[in-house]
Amino acid sequence: MFKPIVGPVIGHTTTNHARIFIRGGSPNNDTVFAGLRYRRLDSKPWSKGSLAQLHESRDLCHVFSLNDLESDCEYEYQTGWFSPMSPVHNLQSIAELPLQWPRETYRFRTRSADPAKARAYILGSCRYLRMTAGAAVLPHLGDRIFASINQMIEGAEPAISATLMTGDQIYVDDLNLIAPDREYKDILNKYRTAFSQPNIQRLMSGTSTYMMLDDHEIEDNWPANASNSDHELFRNAMAAYELYQASHSPAQKLNNNNEVEHSKLAHYWYQFSDGDIEWFVTDSRTQRNLSVDDRRILDIEQEQALIEWLCNSTARVKFVVTSVMFYPDRKLDGTDAWQAFPAQRLRLLETIRTRKISNVVFVSGDVHGSLTSRLTHSEDPDFEIHTIVASPFYNSKLLPYAKASMFVLDQPLVRTAAGDYQHELTSTVVSEDNFAHVVVETDQILINYHDRDGKKLQSISIELR
């Protein structure tokens, strides 16, 4: 058995369930199978191996579903792929073969059910990887920051529950002005290359990773820049996104056998929980309505689901993840973020304020700069929300970093008859490659920004109510 070509990637994980993505190989287009076995770290016997046939129609990718696990428990696992000598083998016959498992072992931990435990997360976005003629150019530069994240995770207390990558995990359009990638095979190659670099591969093999879509998974400023000839580009980009990012997320449901269902996704947004902390990861990219009469960054169904979740969730802390910034607004070129959809943004703000929903934090990336900010209301002292922005993991030298001078900070975000929504930065703006280490404690959220070498840049505390 050979080690995965891409992966393994630990995806959605709960107290008793985990999803593990791998991509195998296909020597001479032979029949190919993948296998995975696991055990508690303090247990000697391995589980019975789970086996799956890999298909070219899914780029030889598969997501294993591990069920009936124990909470707050560390597991180790082995996984790989193989092509049997005889082409007539099927899942039943290979189960009888004496498999030679790869030497590599990986570890992951299930979630704790104890709501009193502190939780920690890694946040980041925008990892640029330039591809020329199908090959990565200086890929170690974009992989460097993940070595620092791995080093932090090894000694982190509390342990890191998950990494959230909030968009632009690949750049389909990295050479958009010269030779943009539009073919399915080329987009798949970008995913394979980006996710198989050594440091990010190590991170994703041991830490639950949640991903979401932004524009560069398709095309810059999608769909505003879409043309009539982009239908095929969109179809190819989304098919690749579903394979490599959505497949191991909660957006993908389980079937009656508790295996990941590979049928068409109903939508790309999803929710997950971690103790008394809940996350709503939006799709603020593919369902936009740019018409003058009813501008929306979220479609009607998603907005309703988000509002219902905000109103009905009993979570102590509610994180809303949106690939583009909820606030503050930019002085120039703000047409791609929430400021271009003011009516929908105000509906969410008014829902949070009038329903007196506390401890709501908006998380985003996109702008190639990191910051935290606080939003209050001039006539309602009970209203307060925060935003955490973490970007980029690695910036293209062709693009600038964000600076504080780019944002509108000297006037209210929104003026209404009931009062003004006023905002202020609660951090400096980080204008370099970085990631955020977020710890949710009993009475505060602590955000630490680190540079690409792991050096702490600044710390910010958000008091919980």
Output the pLDDT for position 155. Answer: 84
Q: Are 461 and 445 within 8 A, CB to CB?
A: yes
Mean pLDDT of 105-128: 97
Mean pLDDT of 260-289: 95
Q: Of 124 and 179, which is predicted with more confidence?
A: 124
Output the pLDDT for position 130. Answer: 83
Highest mean pLDDT among 74-88, 250-264, 437-451: 437-451
- Residue 175: pLDDT band (50, 70, 90) is low
- Residue 176: pLDDT band (50, 70, 90) is low
Q: Thinking of the domain 119-463, which architecture would CATH place it in?
A: 4-Layer Sandwich (3.60)
Q: Do domains 6-109 and 119-463 have the same CATH topology?
A: no
Output the pLDDT for position 250. Answer: 97
Does the structure show a pLDDT above 70 at 118?
Answer: yes
Using one digit for the tens of pLDDT, what is the confidence trace for 347-393? 999 999 999 999 999 999 999 999 999 999 999 999 999 999 999 99
Model's pTM, two decimal places?
A: 0.96
**Intra-chain end-to-end CA distance of the chain, in Å:** 52
Output the pLDDT for position 334. Answer: 87
CA dihedral 299, 303, 305, 306 (to 10 degrees): 130
Output the pLDDT for position 35. Answer: 97
- Residue 277: pLDDT band (50, 70, 90) is very high
Using one digit for the tens of pLDDT, what is the confidence trace for 30-47? 889 999 999 999 888 999
Cα–Cα distance between 387 and 361 in angstroms, integer? Answer: 5
> Taking the domains of the chain in order of start, what are their residue ranges?
6-109, 119-463
- Residue 180: pLDDT band (50, 70, 90) is low
The percent of residues above 90 in pLDDT, for the chain, comes to 85
Average pLDDT, whole number, for the chain?
A: 94
Output the pLDDT for position 370. Answer: 98
Output the pLDDT for position 178. Answer: 56
Q: Thinking of the domain 6-109, which architecture would CATH place it in?
A: Sandwich (2.60)
Output the pLDDT for position 51. Answer: 95
Does the structure show a pLDDT above 70 at 179?
Answer: no
Cα–Cα distance between 385 and 362 in angstroms, integer? Answer: 8
Does the structure show a pLDDT above 90 at 92?
Answer: no
Output the pLDDT for position 75. Answer: 98
